[in-house]
């Protein structure tokens, strides 16, 4: 991947993570009412940006990995190296708040029987069909529960051979349920961008400008909100009541078209000026995953200790995120080795069973 494109994607990923961070920091419980109108309306859109980026990047790394084994090991190590510690952090902070700040959490029932819910969290099945479970207090975890299964089904289709890959993919789709189906085209659109031929530099830059203007116009006119309200009205409230984070799918499709335009245009726009910003942008992007998965537990912790002190909550949370990211985002070796052992053990068991037959 060209450096200027890599830097741009890192920049977009970092800005999306920061948007979610600031949108949630602006919630009244953290005293951020002054910035609430600025950032909150864009939180869900930032997640859609993640989906499109994810599809684009996973399509690229699948070609780089070259085999299903490498693909699975790399994805599992990347996801679990951050997701599993983030779950433990959330569980620990929630427990501290339940014991010391009663009433600070609205759904304590999961902590009464965590063994029932941890399997949902670590298998990313919280939104299969009409399950509706957040990962303790960490509600942004929902998007990971969509993405991981998109990785799986894409891997099946990309590396599988013969008609059986379609059968297996269909079974996985059936397991996922309608919520994940609705946002699957958004992720696929990102993957499809990888396969499109490059435009010339002038045409790429023109498309980049048009796509940015399209995004601004989309947000300024409120078309998304109108489409989403229409869906909720047509379904007599079914979408809002049952689809959870997928209820905005129609507006999300429109948003995806413009985001896709930005990414596609950036592939051929030759934005060499960004190469000079590689180091600071890469450093910020290196903790963006940690920022997304840990900002809520940190907000809740520091929000309880320093009520309504938005700046203090934000700074302390960023410090916690930086430490968490430095420890876990750059240390995927342990998880990769663990999954290699599991995979090799599974192969041995299969071979022994086959010999006995």
What is the phi/psi pair of residue 69, to 5°?
A: -60, -50
Task: Report the 10 Å Cβ neighbour count for 266.
Answer: 24
Report pLDDT for 68.
Answer: 87
Paired with 138 in beta bridges are 135
Report pLDDT for 47.
Answer: 94
Report pLDDT for 332.
Answer: 73
What is the phi/psi pair of residue 89, to 5°?
A: -60, -45
Report pLDDT for 127.
Answer: 93
Asked if residues 23 and 298 have their Cβ atoms less than 8 Å apart, the reply is no
Report pLDDT for 67.
Answer: 86
Task: Look at residues 51, 55, 48, 121 and name the one whose alpha carbon lies nearest to residue 91.
Answer: 121
Helices (H) and strands (E) in the chain, counts: 17, 0
Report pLDDT for 220.
Answer: 86
Q: What is the pLDDT along the chain (357 residues), one digit of tens a residue?
A: 677 788 888 899 999 999 999 999 999 889 888 888 888 888 999 999 999 999 999 999 998 888 888 898 889 889 999 999 999 999 999 999 988 888 778 767 888 888 889 999 999 999 999 889 999 999 999 999 999 999 999 999 998 888 888 999 999 999 999 999 999 999 999 999 888 888 888 898 899 899 999 989 988 888 888 888 888 888 777 888 888 899 889 899 999 999 999 999 888 877 777 777 788 888 888 889 999 999 999 999 999 999 999 999 999 999 999 999 988 887 777 777 777 777 776 665 545 455 445
Rounded to 10 deg, the angle between the 333-356 and 68-100 helix axes is: 120
Report pLDDT for 350.
Answer: 45
pTM of the predicted model as reported, rounded to 2 decimal places = 0.88
Rg of the chain over Cα atoms, rounded to whole angstroms, equals 21
Q: Percentages helix, strand, coil for the chain, rounded to the nearest 5? A: 80, 0, 20
């Amino acid at each position: 991947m060209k450096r200027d494109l890599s830097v741009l994607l890192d920049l977009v990923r970092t800005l999306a993570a920061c948007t979610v961070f600031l949108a949630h920091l602006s919630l009244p419980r953290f005293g951020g009412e002054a910035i609430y109108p600025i950032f909150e309306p864009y939180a869900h859109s930032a997640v859609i940006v993640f989906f499109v980026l994810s599809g684009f990047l996973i399509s690229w790394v699948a070609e780089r990995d070259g085999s299903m084994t490498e693909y699975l090991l790399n994805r599992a190590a990347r996801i679990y190296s951050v997701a599993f510690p983030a779950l433990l952090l959330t569980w620990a902070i929630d427990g501290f708040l339940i014991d010391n700040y009663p009433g600070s959490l609205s759904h304590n029932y999961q902590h009464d029987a965590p063994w029932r819910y941890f399997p949902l969290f670590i298998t990313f099945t919280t939104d299969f069909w009409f399950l509706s479970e957040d990962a303790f207090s960490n509600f942004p975890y929902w998007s990971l529960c969509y993405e991981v299964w998109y990785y799986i089904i894409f891997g099946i289709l990309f590396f599988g051979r013969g008609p059986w890959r379609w059968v297996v993919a269909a079974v996985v789709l059936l397991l996922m349920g309608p919520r994940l189906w609705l946002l699957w085209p958004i992720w696929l659109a990102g993957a499809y961008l990888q396969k499109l031929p490059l435009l010339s530099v002038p045409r790429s830059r023109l498309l980049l400008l048009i796509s940015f203007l399209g995004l601004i116009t989309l947000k300024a006119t409120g078309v998304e909100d109108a489409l989403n309200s229409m869906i909720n009205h047509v379904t007599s409230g079914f979408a809002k009541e049952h689809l959870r984070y997928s209820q905005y799918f129609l507006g999300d499709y429109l948003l995806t078209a413009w985001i896709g335009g930005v990414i596609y245009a950036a592939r051929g726009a030759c934005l060499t000026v960004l190469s000079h910003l590689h180091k600071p942008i890469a450093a910020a992007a290196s903790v963006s995953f940690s920022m997304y998965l840990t900002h809520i537990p940190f907000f809740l912790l520091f929000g309880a200790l320093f009520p309504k002190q938005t700046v203090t909550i934000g700074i302390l949370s960023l410090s916690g995120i930086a430490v968490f990211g430095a420890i876990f985002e750059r240390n995927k070796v342990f998880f990769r080795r663990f999954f290699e052992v599991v995979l090799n053990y599974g192969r041995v068991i299969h071979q022994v069973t086959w010999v006995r037959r």
